[in-house]
Structure 1
Amino acid sequence: MNRVFIKTYGCQMNERDSEAVAFKLKARGYEIVSDEAIADVVLLNTCSVRDQAEQKAIGKAGHLAHRKKKNQKFIFGVMGCMAQNRGEELFDILPDLDLVVGTQKFHRIPEYLDKITGSTEPKTTNIIDLEDEEFSQEEIRDHLNTSQNKVTAFVSIMQGCNMNCTFCIVPKTRGKERYRSIASITKEVQELVDRGVREVTLLGQIVNAYGRGSLPRIDNKSPFVQLLEKLNEIEGLYRIRFTSPHPTSFGDDLIECFARLSKLCEHAHLPMQSGSDRILKLMNRPYTRKKFLAITKKLRNAHSKMRISTDVILGFPGESDEDYALTKSAFIEATFEMAYIFKYSERSGTPAVELSDSVPKDVKEMRNQDLLTQLEKQSYVSNSSSVGKRYEVLVEGKAKRGKDMLIGRTRCNRRVVFEGNQVLAGELLDIEIKDVSATTLIGENNQ
């Protein structure tokens, strides 16, 4: 009864959390398997940001409940944001559920499974733990030693969020911001580099707000900039990325880093959400369209090869045709090369649920398709400018499609596929771009 399969929904932070849980389970003697069918235990690490993500996880849990009816020794649990948001309600929906664990209790999962499996006495069922735990942010630091982690790795530098966007459930599911020390993060990254990792992506709900109100500014530099400077000194680390930031924490000290820190990649993710000041105010996003676009210009001025991606929510309550037109025009003015575009969905427990004047589904869909079309145009134009140019590409491994094809990324986060041998994984190659699509560059390794 020790084979565990973990299925992860949602963001990179969930992926990082799942890996940390898997590490602790292996340390406790459990076997992590990649085939759900042979698992004795299935854990769902869930997301609550959008309703669709929750519904997928609940649907999956329902299938697992049927499996348990046929085999009472089978164990399944729900962890993460949906567990934190739904809590006891999940046992009402899924009476055969064994385990519900919140976002500050991931490190307790091995001991809880011990109790459920009966490896420790007394044997327990229906365990739920959603309580806050001091220093839980320090528990998300362990990495599995597998081939998948030899080139790139996620590093969580904080947990929680102090912003109060009216559409977002994260402050409820992740709690208040809690920061790891710069020394602890640097040690983790050094250990990853010693194992062959060449690129790290720093994770946090508002990652560039790291340390605010807790760690001091030094020489007028924010704690996040101090962290970037420290990581930039690590020998053997090629690249540094970070996500997901907030526009209000993109100070000049951070923007200047793109010009002066050699390992900080010239790609910035800058969530806009809306281009209408009226909608931004309803969303409780403390910036204006003008201020947001000024940040995009500063970023592009900081580095000539800067590439910027964004998040946009369409169909927020009260969004008029004029509001959408403002969003689209801001999207065009910022010349985003990549974006995550979402149709607004209500999340129970968020202030936006109380707003009236909901946007019809067909209008949301129309705006969604229109902006996706605009994104494809902008992405293709941007990628087309790469044809005939050479880029430094970090080889990540074998591409999903095509015999003997590899995949890697440029510093500005463009995806590149080209022919080559798997042994090149982890190498930096000079790749010439021969063709493009809206999402991918097709290259050739002439070395």
Structure 2
Amino acid sequence: MTNSTILPDFKLQQGTFFVQVWGCQMNVYDGDRIRELLTSAGFVETAAVENASIVVLVTCAVRAKAEDKVFNQIAAWRHQQKISKNTVIALGGCVGSELAEEILKLDKSVNVIFGPRTIHRLPSLISAYIQTHEPQVDVNADAIDKFDYFPSSHAEGPSAFVTIMEGCSNKCTYCIVPYTRGDEQSRPVQDIIDECVNFISNGAIEIHLLGQNVNSYHGVMNDGTVCNFSTLLYEIAAIPGLRRLRFTTSNPMDFTDDIIDAVKNLSVISDQIHVPIQAGSDRILSLMHRRYTAKEYIELTEKLRAARPTVHISSDFIVGFPGETEEDFEKTMEVVEKVKFDLSFSFVYSKRQGTPAALMEDKVTKEEKFNRLYKLQNRLEELALSYTQQFVGTVQECIVEGISRKDENELKSRASSGRIVVFKGSEDLIGKMVKVKITSTHAHTLKGELIND
């Protein structure tokens, strides 16, 4: 077993590749960069796994379910004869860093293992396997080295992801990410600006900034000074051609007043602000090593709404954390009622080996955990539907993403709130921002009529 030793100028034999991604938006970003790297190396992407000589799988390690999915998918493709013993299988993402060589024991058909920090080495790793037929494992590198090796990116549609930092140093007790993506490192400001400009010059009008904790960003500027996240927002908002700016994800403890001021002052920032709370009990937040209280979180949301009355605050919740009592859970429900979240995500706690929480005593039964989850999800759904209904009769500025999957006579677009909006219009509107009057709703989707200025 070896790491990559192939010379940089080694030419890959012609072939085809297929990429499938599970997990967070940072994995989506990495998946797009992998496509560009392999294309530059001489391979051609195929939309069908059965036509690929190389299959690249990028998955997360935040919950055990994500790991199970990737191995089940490989087994299913093998059973369906969509992949064969000759297919080169490369498995990466956070699960690559978490398990590394253990993956070879779990599935002997995996040939190449890489991590979030080593995706730029994937062409060389694949080359090494093709030459030697020995499994290649390479998951360690400097967090931001990979960005220097990426080919010029091209926007695939009107929206583009841009990773501004790698890793996380917060060490929340339930989270495996600091151990898979490493400690936090921020990209230089000019590198981020250049990538945004490149995407916009190739047709993007929306930029979505990514990081495990974007609001702790501290990148170096050209003059050697350090740029914080709010300053970065102003820098990117000034790029000609940008119509909307999103960012994910934010830690409440780092959502400082200067960032709130940027949300107030920069109309280009989306109305959808995602700020994970995880739990509403101060006792559980302390056990999670989330360095804020429920009261401080509520005050943050009040400041955001004062700065931007149209803001839609979404969040993440972990139910059934080790030691969570019924009283702790009810405190979470109290926060939900006070904040009234929109379009949020909630999950039952997933034990991850190697994290401090994995060693905590957990007396909460599976039945109790899921009963609490369903109660929380039902209330979150009610709140989200209430927000959806309030859009009827309003005019929304929407970025047109493409043709609706359900009706080829309609276009699919996205409002600043994050809601999908469908309306009748010509295909030449795809990639543009338009105004749509909302006439009706269906679940969380809005239906409307195009307003011609």
TM over 0.5: yes
Conserved? CA contact 1:68–1:96, under 8 Å: no
Deviation by residue 1:4-40 (Cα, 9 ceiling, x = unmatched): 1011010110010011011011111011111101111
Is 1:355 aligned to residue 364 of structure 2?
A: no
Distance (Å, rounded) in 2 between the aligned partners of 1:72 and 1:150:
36
Distance (Å, rounded) in 2 between the aligned partners of 1:69 and 1:372:
37
1:128 aligns with 137
Distance (Å, rounded) in 1 between the aligned partners of 2:70 and 2:258:
41
1:47 aligns with 60
Residues 401-440 of structure 1 aligned to structure 2 (within 5 Å) = 401-440=406-445
Distance (Å, rounded) in 2 between the aligned partners of 1:259 and 1:99:
46
Conserved? CA contact 2:119–2:146, under 8 Å: no
Q: 1:217 to 1:359 in 2, by over 3 A?
A: farther
1:209 aligns with 216
Secondary structure (helix, strand or coil) at the match of 2:315 reads: strand
Distance (Å, rounded) in 2 between the aligned partners of 1:218 and 1:91:
44
Q: Which amino acid aligns with 1:238?
A: R
The Cα of 1:266 is off from its aligned counterpart by 2.2
Secondary structure (helix, strand or coil) at the match of 1:49 reads: coil
How many residue pairs match? The answer is: 439
Secondary structure (helix, strand or coil) at the match of 1:263 reads: coil
Is 1:100 aligned to residue 113 of structure 2?
A: yes
Deviation by residue 1:154-183 (Cα, 9 ceiling, x = unmatched): 001110001111110000000011111111
Q: 1:442 to 1:66 in 2, by over 3 A?
A: closer
Q: 1:181 to 1:216 in 2, by over 3 A?
A: closer
Q: 1:127 to 1:66 in 2, by over 3 A?
A: farther
Distance (Å, rounded) in 1 between the aligned partners of 2:314 and 2:277:
9
Residues 39-438 of structure 1 aligned to structure 2 (within 5 Å) = 39-63=52-76, 71-118=84-131, 123-133=132-142, 135-139=144-148, 142=151, 145=154, 149-211=156-218, 223-438=228-443
Conserved? CA contact 1:62–1:94, under 8 Å: no
Distance (Å, rounded) in 1 between the aligned partners of 2:287 and 2:151:
39
Q: 1:18 aligns with which of 14, 19, 31?
A: 31
The Cα of 1:371 is off from its aligned counterpart by 1.2
Distance (Å, rounded) in 1 between the aligned partners of 2:75 and 2:255:
43
Q: 1:299 to 1:217 in 2, by over 3 A?
A: farther
Distance (Å, rounded) in 2 between the aligned partners of 1:289 and 1:102:
35
Distance (Å, rounded) in 2 between the aligned partners of 1:134 and 1:371:
36
Identity %: 33
Q: 1:380 to 1:183 in 2, by over 3 A?
A: same
Secondary structure (helix, strand or coil) at the match of 1:105 reads: helix
Q: Which amino acid aligns with 2:241?
A: G
Q: Which amino acid aligns with 2:86?
A: K
The Cα of 1:61 is off from its aligned counterpart by 2.9
Q: Which amino acid aligns with 2:46?
A: V
Conserved? CA contact 2:143–2:167, under 8 Å: no
Conserved? CA contact 2:248–2:274, under 8 Å: yes
CA RMSD of superposed structures (Å): 2.2
Distance (Å, rounded) in 1 between the aligned partners of 2:192 and 2:327:
45
Conserved? CA contact 2:252–2:297, under 8 Å: yes
Q: 1:351 to 1:195 in 2, by over 3 A?
A: same
Q: 1:170 to 1:217 in 2, by over 3 A?
A: farther
Q: 1:384 to 1:68 in 2, by over 3 A?
A: closer
Unaligned runs of at least 5 residues, structure 2: 1-13
The Cα of 1:65 is off from its aligned counterpart by 5.9
Q: 1:205 to 1:53 in 2, by over 3 A?
A: same
Provide the TM-score with structure 1 as the length reference.
0.93
Unaligned runs of at least 5 residues, structure 1: none
Deviation by residue 1:94-135 (Cα, 9 ceiling, x = unmatched): 1232111122110001111122223xxxx3420101222363
